[in-house]
Structure 1
Amino acid sequence: MLFLKATPAQEPLPAELQERIVALLPLRDLKALCAHPRMIPTLRVHLKQRVIETLDSFRLKGQETLDMMSASRTVLSGSAALEIVSPGSCEPNNLNFYCPVGSAHHALSAILATKGFVETPMSLKTLMSERSPFNKFEVNNGVKRLYRLVHLPTKKTIILAESISASPLAPILFFHSTLMMNYVTGTTAISLYPDLTYERKGFLNYAVNFAKIHRPDVLDRWTGVGMSIWSDCHDLHDGHPSMSPTARKGMCQWAYRQINDDWADRMAFQRSPRLQLGPVLAWRLGHRYRTKKDVMHHKTSVHLVHEEWFKLCMYKKAVEWVRYYVPLVKETGLIDQALWKRSFPN
């Protein structure tokens, strides 16, 4: 990888030093370097190694885990994905995987087949909730069930979240801030808000009952390491996509986004057709809208990108019931009322 010049004589830096420099580069810079075609193979190898080292550090078998992720459409997200797309951001406490509804057995079997891993039993209760196209995926913040696995020799923890959607990405769109909206498939690393993440900034995914939905002090971890989380995108820009044709959708809480839009950064680390992660989802972050007299609250919106969705909304059809599982308090046998304990890894 001869792209860094050390002397006027155009001698390249030693390979080891180049590797150390590349290891510090965020996803956006790796993508920029891919503008030089001869560098693409080397950069792909580096990014793949970055992912595999993350998996290995939690005692998983790197390539076998990537194969499982591709086969079951499972993705890696949370702090581990943030560290992959933005090295030096954090030290992951655990690994958080997300799989489509009905695919948990495949992912669980692969992890439990790795020596040392066991599933931590949890007392659960089944709940049912009515949903319509208006609240398609907001039930339990997009999570059907959480599974917790522990590597006994090291106490390393893995959390598998089964989505209520055929897309594993629904729960990710309910995360507390855009800083965490990154994920890794079996072939590709993706950052949904790359401009902000590159600048170590994030927008709050606002909710009226934020303290109930998310773990206490969840934002302190990130502000404590020098990251900024903005509660209102108006503090960063004046125009919104619905009000200004020049506003950047990727930098706005008000914008409706799609998983496959061009505002995300994507970089494949191995050659293969783009992995289809189920139906395409659209979302808009939760935010506040200030009028002259009042403040309106808009909750997070996640739904399918499909022409039939608008017809269903218009006629209010396709109401259905969804099953999900919640943990019980061990001492009382009652449902744990802390929503974050059942819909986000802890």
Structure 2
Amino acid sequence: MDAFTANTALWLAHFSPEVVEQIVEWLPVWVLKILTHSPTYASMARRVLNNRVVGFLQLWGLHPDETLTLMRRHHAILSGQAALTTVEPAPWFPDDLDFYCPITTCDEVVDWFVCHGYVVEDDRAPVIDLEFGNGIARADLESPDEMTALAFDFPIVRTGISKGICRSVSLRQPASGKHIRVNESYSDNAAVPVCFFPSTLDMNFITGNGVVSLYPQLTSKRRGLLNMQLNPPLFPVERETIASLTKYQERGYSFFHGKEMLPGAVETNSALDELVVRTWDDNLAVQMDFDHRHPATLLPALHWSLAKRDYDDTGFTDFLPFVFVSNELRSIMYEDGNRFYQSIRMAPEAL
């Protein structure tokens, strides 16, 4: 690490340029980020990262420069398996490409893919129990977190099982059979649905200017913190979610849930304080740009909290994930569920 920050990547200097190129191609994004401190390897690191994204887009028959321009113009991001294998190269390929866009640009993004040879197979809004509330209501919690008991009025959007997505469009290229999904966020921030993903392994995304990994320390250990309720049949887990987690486990990833905290998180006695709460600028995420002249992302300010379960003498309380988006015009909280938390009281013999 010291060698990189001193702009002398000493261990790479022992290899020929050809070998160095092959090594760098398989480095995860957090190591590539370190290489950008070296004048010798900075351009190579950025080129390798860009080539990973270009490779996926070309496999789906998309022109890389035009697609990245589309993403910049409409503030869209590419997430899911493609983003994970960009962040940490793996010997497997994603099944499809999952694009996410703000609530105002979905039609333009879908039309662009149609103009480039894709056909709409399905266009639907998730089945949800959409509900709007008043932000002051969050202050009724016994130990309110600073992000959920703000001193001013703000709307709350409870998005049910939609995971922050208000519309999902499936497209397929007839010749190759390649599949793309364009998901419309409830917010003007395309990354809101990412914070509702079932595990932190998927909380990576690609922008028109670079790559972001929200939980690089966990991902580097091939571990994912689950972001969901785990109490079927009271809270059924979707089959698609179980299939996704199973696929990751078959590829060598593991998951955990409960009181175990993320590296760097502060653990206290308060149930709400123990929530895994993150902010866009807490320096725990890794952002790496394709070009040092342009930041990886210019998305609006984002705060989020993952799901967590807290046990006591009589049962447990599930705290549902939420995302808080704030900009100059408004502040909105997005919740995954009809209540911010749900308590389950159990018989003594069950504890």
Instruction: Quote how far apart the aligned CAs of 1:272 are.
Output: 3.8
- Supply the distance in 2 between the matched residues of 1:55 and 1:205 (Cα, whole angstroms): 29
Aligned twin of 2:256 = 230
Alpha-carbon contact 2:80-2:203 (below 8 Å) kept: yes
Instruction: Quote how far apart the aligned CAs of 1:122 are.
Output: 4.4
Aligned twin of 2:307 = 286
Q: How does 1:60-139 map to 2 (within 5 A)?
A: 60-88=62-90, 90-114=92-116, 116-122=117-123, 129-132=130-133, 133=135, 135-136=156-157, 138-139=159-160
Q: Please state whether the residue corresponding to 1:172 is helix, strand or coil.
A: helix
- Supply the distance in 2 between the matched residues of 1:15 and 1:281 (Cα, whole angstroms): 40
Q: Please state whether the residue corresponding to 1:120 is helix, strand or coil.
A: strand
- Supply the distance in 2 between the matched residues of 1:264 and 1:235 (Cα, whole angstroms): 16
Aligned twin of 2:33 = 31
Deviates more, 1:129-138 or 1:255-264: 129-138
Query: Does the C-alpha gap of structure 1 residues 253 and 263 become closer, same or farther in structure 2, counting only changes over 3 Å?
Result: farther
Query: Does the C-alpha gap of structure 1 residues 211 and 126 become closer, same or farther in structure 2, counting only changes over 3 Å?
Result: closer
Instruction: Quote how far apart the aligned CAs of 1:4 are.
Output: 7.0
Residue identity over aligned pairs, in percent, reads: 28
Query: Does the C-alpha gap of structure 1 residues 161 and 243 become closer, same or farther in structure 2, counting only changes over 3 Å?
Result: same
- Supply the distance in 1 between the matched residues of 2:241 and 2:29 (Cα, whole angstroms): 28
Instruction: Quote how far apart the aligned CAs of 1:143 are.
Output: 0.5
TM-score, normalised relative to structure 1: 0.77
User: How many equivalent residue pairs?
Assistant: 299
Instruction: Quote how far apart the aligned CAs of 1:181 are.
Output: 0.2
Query: Does the C-alpha gap of structure 1 residues 226 and 125 become closer, same or farther in structure 2, counting only changes over 3 Å?
Result: closer
- Supply the distance in 1 between the matched residues of 2:221 and 2:45 (Cα, whole angstroms): 22
Give unpaired runs (5+ residues) of structure 2: 1-7, 139-155, 334-351
- Supply the distance in 2 between the matched residues of 1:210 and 1:265 (Cα, whole angstroms): 33
Aligned twin of 1:152 = 174
1:55-93 C-alpha deviation (Å, 9 max, x unpaired): 111111111100000000000000000000010164200
TM-score, normalised relative to structure 2: 0.76
1:261 equivalent in alignment to 2:282: yes
Instruction: Quote how far apart the aligned CAs of 1:301 are.
Output: 1.5
1:104-151 C-alpha deviation (Å, 9 max, x unpaired): 12211222222x321114476997832234643634211110011111
Aligned twin of 1:191 = 213
Q: Aligned letter for 1:234?
A: E
- Supply the distance in 1 between the matched residues of 2:314 and 2:66 (Cα, whole angstroms): 57
Instruction: Quote how far apart the aligned CAs of 1:213 are.
Output: 8.0
1:181 equivalent in alignment to 2:181: no
Aligned twin of 2:15 = 13
1:200 equivalent in alignment to 2:222: yes
Alpha-carbon contact 1:206-1:288 (below 8 Å) kept: no
Aligned twin of 2:321 = 300
Q: Please state whether the residue corresponding to 1:281 is helix, strand or coil.
A: strand
Query: Does the C-alpha gap of structure 1 residues 210 and 69 become closer, same or farther in structure 2, counting only changes over 3 Å?
Result: farther
Query: Does the C-alpha gap of structure 1 residues 122 and 103 become closer, same or farther in structure 2, counting only changes over 3 Å?
Result: closer
- Supply the distance in 1 between the matched residues of 2:266 and 2:205 (Cα, whole angstroms): 25
- Supply the distance in 2 between the matched residues of 1:162 and 1:188 (Cα, whole angstroms): 21
Aligned twin of 1:241 = 266
Query: Does the C-alpha gap of structure 1 residues 253 and 105 become closer, same or farther in structure 2, counting only changes over 3 Å?
Result: farther
Aligned twin of 1:344 = none
Alpha-carbon contact 1:28-1:265 (below 8 Å) kept: yes
Aligned Cα root-mean-square deviation (Å): 3.1
Query: Does the C-alpha gap of structure 1 residues 89 and 170 become closer, same or farther in structure 2, counting only changes over 3 Å?
Result: farther
- Supply the distance in 2 between the matched residues of 1:262 and 1:243 (Cα, whole angstroms): 21
Query: Does the C-alpha gap of structure 1 residues 121 and 220 become closer, same or farther in structure 2, counting only changes over 3 Å?
Result: closer
Give unpaired runs (5+ residues) of structure 1: 245-251, 314-346
Q: Please state whether the residue corresponding to 1:215 is helix, strand or coil.
A: helix
- Supply the distance in 1 between the matched residues of 2:259 and 2:306 (Cα, whole angstroms): 11
Query: Does the C-alpha gap of structure 1 residues 89 and 263 become closer, same or farther in structure 2, counting only changes over 3 Å?
Result: farther
- Supply the distance in 1 between the matched residues of 2:88 and 2:285 (Cα, whole angstroms): 14
Alpha-carbon contact 1:54-1:80 (below 8 Å) kept: yes
Instruction: Quote how far apart the aligned CAs of 1:193 are.
Output: 0.3
Alpha-carbon contact 1:137-1:170 (below 8 Å) kept: no
Alpha-carbon contact 1:98-1:162 (below 8 Å) kept: yes
